[in-house]
Structure 1
Amino acid sequence: MLLGLFISSLEKIGAQPIGVCYGQIGDNLPPEQEVINLFRTNGIGKMRIYGPNPAILEALKGSNIELILDVTNDKLEALSDASTANDWVRQNVLNYPDVTYRYIAVGNEIKPNDGRAQYVVPAMQNIHNAIVSANLQDQIKVSTSIDMSLLGNSYPPSAGSFSDSASSYMASVVTFLANNGAPLLANVYPYFSYIGNSQSISLDYALFKSPGVVVQDGEYGYQNLFDATLDALYSALEKSGGSNVKVVVSESGWPSEGHAAATIDNAAAYYQNLINHVNSGTPKRPGQAIQTYLFAMFDENKKGPEETERHFGLFHPDKQPKYQIRFN
């Protein structure tokens, strides 16, 4: 059985909240066109790629697969120049009019103390201006992708706030997003929270398996760590003036090897339970489907340094499914 349910209507596929990240840090991965075909036959209507790859962009033409396209971190300084940003958009977006771009992620997991952090918002603004010049601002939103290390406090979720070191950096990011109606992209991994604090966090809570409320936070009850993390981020956004900024989960996954908690059974449970859950929203945002990109399409044998980094794939490099998962 192929991974996922077959969907006849590509428009229906695109309406689903689930996407998959397509990383390429491997030397045994299938050709790009075969990967696009694999997305389509499994009803996966959203994709994230980590930089402009002409072969992928060519293969995506006419597929209706909605794309998050990353600006790689090494390009941030250059794109703080407006003309360079215009060239980037022309080369990587406008040259592919049959590709369905949804978000441009300007940088991935940039830390506030990284020297490149100062260029993130100027680059976002320049990319956005180029998108506006092409009259694509209603179709393509510009954002950046963060990890949860930028939260200084995440428990309980209502106390969520950005750390002192991240607060000024995130304030400028949030202002940009709020002004332009764009979501924040966030990489959310209950797996890493669990293995970092397994004395306090139960495996069932991390895997969406808790039978009842684990954390009661005022009027909100939390049965899983994913919701608690996401609502802590929403609380941090509210404190930073971003009450109306939505969150798109640009990565979430669970590895199948390399750690005691990284098993086939745990990973299969996490992915399927996450897929089943995202339409429900979180306690702070009930009923609002959470756009979520599973990490990742394939095991990538050149990733590291941790062994688990090579085992996040939903598929093996030979395109065989690792799990029996339904995407819709």
Structure 2
Amino acid sequence: MSLILLLIGVLLSSTALEFTGAQSVGVCYGGNGNNLPTKKAVVDLYKSKGIGKIRIYNPDEGILQALRSSNIEVILGVPNNVLKSLTNAQTASDWVNKYVKAYSIVKIKYIAVGNEVHPGSAESSSVLPAMQNIQKAISSANLQGQIKVSTAIDTTLIGKSYPPKDGVFSDAASGYIKPIVNFLVSNGSPLLANVYPYFAYVNNQQSIGLDYALFTKQGKNEVGYQNLFDAMLDSIYAALEKVGGSNVKIVVSESGWPSQGGTGASAGNAGTYYGNLIKHVKGGTPKRPNGPIETYLFAMFDENQKPGSEIERHFGLFRPDKSPKYQISFN
């Protein structure tokens, strides 16, 4: 009898390991739509599909309520329009009390203080002070062991990206990013980066093949890369090394491909990209071969009210009726 119980225990633990190992992939939940499911239905869909990570862009209490006791790991976003207010320590403390401490049974893993803030923008001078104040409030709440404070950048901050080993932050970005990297180093936090081979491909089709962007290229190129995602990610790693961030890990906080609305945007290409990306991030990159790469797919649903060009409204993995656009497995 004890032998049977031991075998069951071994089987259960190996299943748990297998499940956890597969959980390098999360999905961003964007809410810019007037036809989307309820917050509870959204969380139920994550659970039913085995998606163990979610990124939310603002502290929406409806989705935080729905995430209670779900065991889904969360990137909680601080919207750009509140960054300035959080340069006040008391306001930052109130924010943490309201949206973090009050939801202690929500598995918040990262707080993304700002998204794609560009150097020289009105918000740029507020990012680091807001990060510092949120960090102090997290530490005061004794949560620094479980929640890491960071910010999400886009790849326009990289001045040179090819070959990837020569990746460097642009002159305009280096003064902005270096103190942020110092903060990440001293707090053991990762850098969040939104990495879109789609846009790199569309903007440079004369040099970048579609197969290289979709992970379908056979063989490596002249600098040892088989896909654009790895090349982009490694160029950020190289840039981090040059500003003292050699030990900073990158979490890919967004990556996706649109199904319509622009060049190369088709359901076929998008399905290929998402399916291959999920498989690929179980491993590493040439520069950082030890995977998995924690990656958040963008996004859960098409967002019919999202501003910008037409493609912005077609990044969803699911339709608003919760039916899948693509035949892909998240595990």
| TM-score tier (shorter) | over 0.9
Residue identity opposite 1:303 in structure 2? K
Partner of 2:282: 279
Higher-Rg structure is 2
RMSD over aligned CA atoms reads: 1.3
1:320 aligned onto 2:327: no
Distance 2:165 2:287 in 1: 9
Distance 1:86 1:277 in 2: 39
Residue identity opposite 1:296 in structure 2? A
Partner of 1:194: 201
Distance 1:194 1:302 in 2: 25
Q: Cα distance 1:43–1:202, how it changes in 2: closer, same or farther (>3 A)? A: same
1:116 aligned onto 2:123: yes
Distance 1:235 1:97 in 2: 36
Partner of 2:175: 168
Distance 2:227 2:179 in 1: 30
Listed as ranges, the matches of 1:213-232 within 5 Å are: 213-216=220-223, 221-232=224-235
Distance 1:320 1:326 in 2: 14
Residue 38 of structure 1, CA deviation: 0.2
Residue identity opposite 1:45 in structure 2? G
Residue identity opposite 1:270 in structure 2? Y
Distance 1:74 1:110 in 2: 11
Residue 215 of structure 1, CA deviation: 3.8
Residue identity opposite 1:54 in structure 2? E
Distance 2:263 2:144 in 1: 45
Residue 248 of structure 1, CA deviation: 0.2
Distance 1:288 1:215 in 2: 23
Decide whether the 8 Å contact of 1:71 with 1:106 is kept in 2.
yes
Residue identity opposite 2:119 in structure 1? P
1:25 aligned onto 2:41: no
Could you say what secondary structure the match of 2:27 adopts? strand
Residue 304 of structure 1, CA deviation: 2.7
Residue identity opposite 1:170 in structure 2? I
State the aligned residue count.
317
Decide whether the 8 Å contact of 1:253 with 1:271 is kept in 2.
yes
Distance 1:280 1:325 in 2: 18
Residue 11 of structure 1, CA deviation: 9.8
Larger displacement relative to structure 2 (11-20 or 46-55): 11-20
Partner of 2:154: 147
Distance 1:99 1:47 in 2: 11
Residue identity opposite 1:311 in structure 2? H
Distance 2:160 2:330 in 1: 33
Distance 1:73 1:202 in 2: 34
Partner of 2:272: 269
Which stretches in structure 1 are left out of the alignment for 5+ residues?
Answer: 1-7
Distance 1:101 1:11 in 2: 22
Residue identity opposite 2:76 in structure 1? L
Normalised to the residue count of structure 1, the TM-score between the two structures is 0.95
Q: What CA deviation, in whole Å up to 9, does each residue of 1:241-297 have, x standing for no partner?
A: 000000000000000001130001100000000000001110011022110000000
Residue identity opposite 1:134 in structure 2? A
Decide whether the 8 Å contact of 2:27 with 2:53 is kept in 1.
yes
Partner of 1:41: 48
Residue identity opposite 1:86 in structure 2? S
Distance 1:83 1:33 in 2: 32
Q: Cα distance 1:281–1:14, how it changes in 2: closer, same or farther (>3 A)? A: closer
Q: Cα distance 1:14–1:37, how it changes in 2: closer, same or farther (>3 A)? A: farther
Q: What CA deviation, in whole Å up to 9, does each residue of 1:186-207 have, x standing for no partner?
A: 0000000000000100000000
Decide whether the 8 Å contact of 2:202 with 2:263 is kept in 1.
no
Q: Cα distance 1:64–1:15, how it changes in 2: closer, same or farther (>3 A)? A: farther
Normalised to the residue count of structure 2, the TM-score between the two structures is 0.94
1:136 aligned onto 2:155: no
Distance 1:24 1:287 in 2: 34
Partner of 1:84: 91
Decide whether the 8 Å contact of 1:61 with 1:96 is kept in 2.
yes
Distance 2:217 2:160 in 1: 23
Distance 1:44 1:169 in 2: 34
Decide whether the 8 Å contact of 1:15 with 1:45 is kept in 2.
no
Listed as ranges, the matches of 1:232-271 within 5 Å are: 232-271=235-274
- Identity over aligned residues, as a percent? 61
Decide whether the 8 Å contact of 1:76 with 1:107 is kept in 2.
yes
Q: Cα distance 1:47–1:11, how it changes in 2: closer, same or farther (>3 A)? A: farther
Residue identity opposite 2:295 in structure 1? T
- Pairing partner for 1:56 from 52, 60, 63: 63
Q: Cα distance 1:132–1:215, how it changes in 2: closer, same or farther (>3 A)? A: farther
Residue 95 of structure 1, CA deviation: 0.5
Q: What CA deviation, in whole Å up to 9, does each residue of 1:135-181 have, x standing for no partner?
A: 11110000000000000000000110000000010001100000000
Decide whether the 8 Å contact of 1:22 with 1:296 is kept in 2.
yes
